[in-house]
Structure 1
Amino acid sequence: MPTKTALVTGASSGIGEATARRLSALGYTVYGAARRVDRMRELAASGIRTLSLDVTDDTSLQAAVDQIIAETGRIDVLVNNAGYGSYGAIEDTAIDEARRQFDVNVFGAMRLTQLVLPHMRAQRAGTIVNISSMGGKIYTPLGGWYHGTKFALEALSDALRLEVQGFGIDVVIIEPGGIATEWGGIAAENVLTTSGSGAYGAQAAAVAKTLGSPAAAQRDSSPWVVANAIGRAVTARRPKTRYAIGFGAKPLIALRWLLPDRAFDALIRLATGTPRR
């Protein structure tokens, strides 16, 4: 049997880096992709092939897929991990930034999926892993644009699963909770830049404190929790459709399902320290 090939986007740090290493340990030929190849030197030194990839650039996406097919002849696993959190009040966020949030978190992932699907269909096998978030099931103040991308990714993944199951292709959604990566600090900076002054200033200060607090960093789960779940999913004969993993994911998703909207609103206000008025 030929060695299976995996492509992991956003592989320069955090979940993407850990996932690339985990799949490599499982015997895959792994391509780690990110905009900055220089941040993947350690991955390259460990035998992982690195690619420069901008998920918002169609030419870049096509070139990456073409290179992988030319070098290995197949793509067995796609992990759509590239993404970021654009935090700020819906009113304050520039519409161009809102579009970029969707371009990176949704359209980039779906366009890359479109490009790999013909190859997976031809080999009658493959797994597409979309990194969503518990934020694709719950919501927080000043995270509306980010949550919108993850809710969209959940729906697209569900529809895609039905479309491709007859071709031997699995679609898996990963819903991480709090993970110890750069994400929280970047989101905290974003929310203060976008809404730190003006009508939403008090909310922004509270959300930034929650996102960037040392206490949160200490309780957050390791990126390896996610990487190991992905490893289980891609090697399972029949993977689960969803894996809710990491700090807070399962209980918060369950509470969102159990509680009425207003009760959940109150819980989130309490958790984020945001004032009601």
Structure 2
Amino acid sequence: MQATAISAPLRRSSLNRPGSISTPTSSARSGPCKPSCRSWRAQASGHIITVSSIGGVIGFPTGGTYTATKFAIEAMSEGLAAEVEAFGINVTILEPGHFTTGFGSSARSAPAIEVYNPIRQAIRASFKPEHFGDPEATSAALFQAVDADKPPLRLALGTGTITKFRSVYEARLSNWAQWETVTNAAQGRPGA
């Protein structure tokens, strides 16, 4: 799936050396990161790459389970980054947009509920072939992020991805601003 296609350039990159790992992880204290993080803390360096997707920032109809897992990767990685930063360990979340990876043909779906077919068809029709990038072209971006003095926490990949992210965040900020009075009122009286 996406992780496989995007991991190929990682295997050939500077990440393919001691002190680096490409894995989704839950915590520096437990899970698959624990042994690596122990040695990275000792050497005061390391870099964890997690693979999310555009679906880790933008939920879409009929993609609830997929986007839920990607949102979870985003949250785990953000928390992990805060845990390990003081030890010189970096975390970068890859957020690829649409790439030609074979993901669509390998994805398994629950049996379709007929009433949702128009929504499903509209979503599928919105994925235009010209919007899909070549995963092999991501290598240069990955090298640049990994080799940076201050690597990014998030690295969006693909044309149009950041434009979509901006649109989503502008809508979220607008929604929060519109409901800020209600949000603040929900706090109640301090100390009450």
Scaled by the length of structure 2, the TM-score of the pair is 0.76
Count of matched residue positions in the alignment of Structure 1 and Structure 2: 171
8 Å contact from structure 2 (residues 94, 154) kept in 1:
yes
Q: How does 1:163-182 map to 2 (within 5 A)?
A: 163-182=83-102
**1:159 matches 2:79:** yes
Q: How does 1:102-251 map to 2 (within 5 A)?
A: 111-187=31-107, 190-191=108-109, 194-211=110-127, 216-251=128-163
Equivalent AA in structure 2 for residue 251 of structure 1: T
Q: What is the match of residue 77 of structure 1? A: 20
8 Å contact from structure 2 (residues 25, 32) kept in 1:
no
What secondary structure is seen at the aligned counterpart in 2 of 1:127? strand
Structure-2 separation of matches of 1:145 and 1:239:
29
Structure-1 separation of matches of 2:119 and 2:73:
27
What secondary structure is seen at the aligned counterpart in 1 of 2:150? coil
Alpha-carbon shift at residue 131 of structure 1 (Å)? 1.1
Taking a change above 3 Å as real, the CA distance of residues 254 and 29 of structure 1, as seen in their structure-2 partners, is: closer
Taking a change above 3 Å as real, the CA distance of residues 141 and 29 of structure 1, as seen in their structure-2 partners, is: closer
Structure-2 separation of matches of 1:10 and 1:240:
19
8 Å contact from structure 1 (residues 179, 247) kept in 2:
no
Equivalent AA in structure 2 for residue 205 of structure 1: Q
Equivalent AA in structure 2 for residue 247 of structure 1: T
8 Å contact from structure 2 (residues 3, 51) kept in 1:
no
CA RMSD of superposed structures (Å): 2.8
Structure-2 separation of matches of 1:18 and 1:124:
25
Q: What does the per-residue CA deviation read over 1:12-56, in whole Å, with 9 as the maximum and x for residues that have no partner?
A: xx21113223x0xx4x646xxxxxxxxxxxxxxxxxxxxxxxxxx
Aligned equivalent of 1:20, options 6, 11, 15: 11
Q: What is the match of residue 92 of structure 1? A: none
Alpha-carbon shift at residue 128 of structure 1 (Å)? 0.4
Structure-1 separation of matches of 2:49 and 2:88:
14
Q: What is the match of residue 64 of structure 1? A: none
What runs of 5+ residues in structure 1 fail to find an aligned partner?
A: 1-8, 31-74, 81-104, 264-277
Structure-1 separation of matches of 2:96 and 2:77:
16
8 Å contact from structure 1 (residues 225, 246) kept in 2:
no
Structure-2 separation of matches of 1:29 and 1:159:
24
Alpha-carbon shift at residue 254 of structure 1 (Å)? 0.4
Q: What is the match of residue 185 of structure 2? A: none
Higher relative contact order, structure no. (Cα contacts within 8 Å, ≥ 6 residues apart): 2
Equivalent AA in structure 2 for residue 127 of structure 1: H
Alpha-carbon shift at residue 232 of structure 1 (Å)? 1.3
Scaled by the length of structure 1, the TM-score of the pair is 0.54
Alpha-carbon shift at residue 217 of structure 1 (Å)? 3.1
8 Å contact from structure 1 (residues 176, 226) kept in 2:
no
Alpha-carbon shift at residue 136 of structure 1 (Å)? 0.9
8 Å contact from structure 2 (residues 10, 16) kept in 1:
no
